[in-house]
A and B are shown apart, each in its own frame.
Chain A
Amino acid sequence: MQIDYIGSLPLIVIWLALGAIGIVIQAFVRDNTRLVFGYYVATLGLTGLAAIVLSGHKGASFGGMITLGGYANYFDALFCGAGIMALLAARPYLQKEESEVDEFYTMLVSSVAGMMLMAHASNLVVLFVGIELMSISFYVMAGFFRTSTKSVEAALKYFLLGCFATGFLVYGMSLIYGGTGSLAYGDIARTVVTQQLTYPTLFVVGTTLLVIGLSFKIAAFPFHQWAPDVYEGAPTAVTAFMSTAGKAAAFSAFVAVFVALLPAGWTSEIAQNQQIVIAVIAAATMLLGNITAVVQSNVKRMLAYSSVAHAGYMLMGILAGPSLGTDGMNGHHAIVFYATSYLFMQMGAFVVVGILERRDGGFLNIDDYAGLHHRHPVLAALMAVFMFSLAGIPPFAGFFGKYMLFAAAIERGFTWLAIVGVVSSVISAWFYLGLIVKMYFQDAKDSGHEAPAGLAGFTLAVSVVGVVFFGLFPQLLINIFRSW
């Protein structure tokens, strides 16, 4: 088996740090949360750095089960960055809730390791292991507040539905394996192109099930119902991480799988059928997420429903696919751009929510945000920027993400879908702005005292810089995408 040790360094670093050294540290140094925290921040920093340095080092490793460089390394860096941001935001949050346990940091980093596998996978087995590593870590993190009814309820629902969806995911993988005789992306693509499918029906059903399994992870209609409950019930620091990085990871896998399953684009008759199915799913997801978010009164739940809608926007990029020529709008690039900007804006929003949240779980109603800009002018201004970006208002990064997705959809003839997207965007402006109206244009009802932001301030700073910077200079990211 051929192993490219240099190129695989990001994976090797995080695996060694997590599986060998991390366990040892936690076994011998009891209850030193500070040490474990610092250790994992450093781990993620080192891993991310290795991924960035090696991004030009393309190739395959571990017997062709892992791809290296470019796309995968970009996601490595993104996940590590998100992981560091989440760690920094989680520590003050957990301390406030008096539930800081060092295992939390381990779970978070192991979910990052799972995400990295998803982005690097070029084999269905690796994809499966990555998805499950991420998901199982998430199940634990969602239920981390063991004594909180909501947290445990979130964990249970996430766990049961997640495992249920996993059943379909692996069944799909198995049928694809039966249909093509291989689990490697490259072989599957080759079989599809040369039309040497042993069992075409099995392959088609298998791909559909695989898409369903991934649709569950991105929370697309009608597989989205876990998301509002889990995002609401999970500790806010966890929600901040899994609704952003988790979604980005699922999309990184989605894109890679689609490149393998549809090497010739949406040309064949079966593929066109699937294309319509995905278009309908995307439309329903956007509309349902936003319309339901309008009537929510809990901030976390509102953001959760709107996060469903954002998955719908990103599905448009899957439909558009990679650019056919050199000068088309690249749907996959649009997804990566959107996932990146979404990470900054959504995590920023959730971190603000987490800072404001009370020990007893209070201060989560939208009404609680009334007059926030008097008591916390900086937090309110940051929240306003995140809301504007989520609503897709230029010059924030969210605008360009949406612009690229809509443009790609229209370029491939999905004008109706873009119109649905535009309409649901208008609807989303309602609740995003509703929160701003609360914060800026109403007077406060109570004047509580929140714990200082502490390290979470760093996360917020990075988020707001990301949202503004990539709105003003989107080209920097796009240049990276075009080098893949």
Chain B
Amino acid sequence: MLPTTIPLDWYLILSAVLFVTGVVGVLTRRNAIIIFMSIELMLNAVNLSLVAFSAYSGDIGGQMFVFFIMSVAAAEAAVGLAIVLSLFRNKQTIYVDDVNVMKW
């Protein structure tokens, strides 16, 4: 499929909408796992924009970057779930606003 049929702007707008959705999720949800899923959404929005740029400029670099982002996201997921798990073992909660021993 030739990318010229759909303008680049559309991809960018979609990616921005996805990104903002992710941001809003991070800011509004209490559950640590859902917050992390929102962050994943932000990263995937970025992936979309990278692929779009790459396709329109004919440069392969952007698509290569996407693979790195995906693998880093996987590593983050592994670490993140482990942290959430040990949080639950310590405090029997995964709600972020319950975790505020250190403040001020």
A touching B, CB within 8 angstroms? yes
Check B32–A156 contact: CB distance below 8 A. Answer: yes
Measured CB to CB, the nearest residue on chain B to A131 is B72
Could you tell me if A174 and B62 are in contact, using CB atoms closer than 8 angstroms? yes
With beta carbons under 8 angstroms apart, the residue of B42, B53, B90, B91 that contacts A177 is B53
Q: Are B26 and A156 in contact (CB under 8 A)?
A: no
How far, in Å, is A77 (CB) from chain B's closest CB? Answer: 27
The count of residues in chain B whose C-beta lies closer than 8 Å to any C-beta of chain A is 44
Find out whether the CB atom of B72 lies under 8 angstroms from the CB atom of A156: no
- Determine if B83 and A156 form an interchain contact, defined as CB atoms under 8 angstroms apart: yes
A136-144, A323-331, A366-374, A392-400 - the one binding chain B:
A136-144
Residues of B within 8 A of A232 (CB): 102
- CB contacts (< 8 Å) of A128 on chain B: these are 65, 68-69, 72
Q: In the complex the two chains form, is A156's CB within 8 Å of B96's CB?
A: yes
Would you give the shortest CB distance from B63 to chain A, in whole angstroms?
A: 11
Tell me the complex Cα distance, A177–B25, Å: 26
Within 8 A of B (CB), among A142-161: 143, 146-150, 152-157, 159-160
Check A263 for interface membership: any CB of B closer than 8 A: no
* Minimum CB distance partner of A160 in chain B: B35
Indicate whether A146 sits within 8 Å of B86 (C-beta atoms), given known contacts A136-B75, A160-B35.
Answer: yes
B68 pairs with A233, CB closer than 8 A? no
A147 to B86, CA, bound (A): 8
Q: Pick from A163-171, A313-321, A437-445, A476-484 the stretch touching chain B.
A: A163-171
- Verify B99–A167 contact, CB threshold 8 A: no
With A149-B90, A157-B99, A163-B76 known as contacts, the answer to whether A139 contacts B46 (CB < 8 A) is no
Known contacts A156-B84, A183-B62, A233-B102, then 15 further A-B pairs from the complex at CB < 8 Å, ordered by chain A residue: A129-B72, A136-B75, A146-B86, A153-B100, A156-B32, A159-B76, A160-B32, A160-B96, A163-B80, A164-B39, A166-B76, A174-B53, A175-B49, A177-B65, A182-B61
**B-binding residues in A (CB < 8 A):** 124-125, 128-129, 132, 136, 139-140, 143, 146-150, 152-157, 159-160, 163-164, 166-167, 170-171, 173-175, 177-178, 181-184, 198, 228-229, 232-233, 301
Identify 14 residue pairs between A and B in the complex whose beta-carbon atoms are under 8 Å apart, listed by A's number. A124-B65, A125-B64, A125-B65, A129-B72, A136-B72, A139-B80, A152-B86, A164-B42, A167-B39, A174-B49, A174-B62, A177-B53, A177-B54, A183-B65
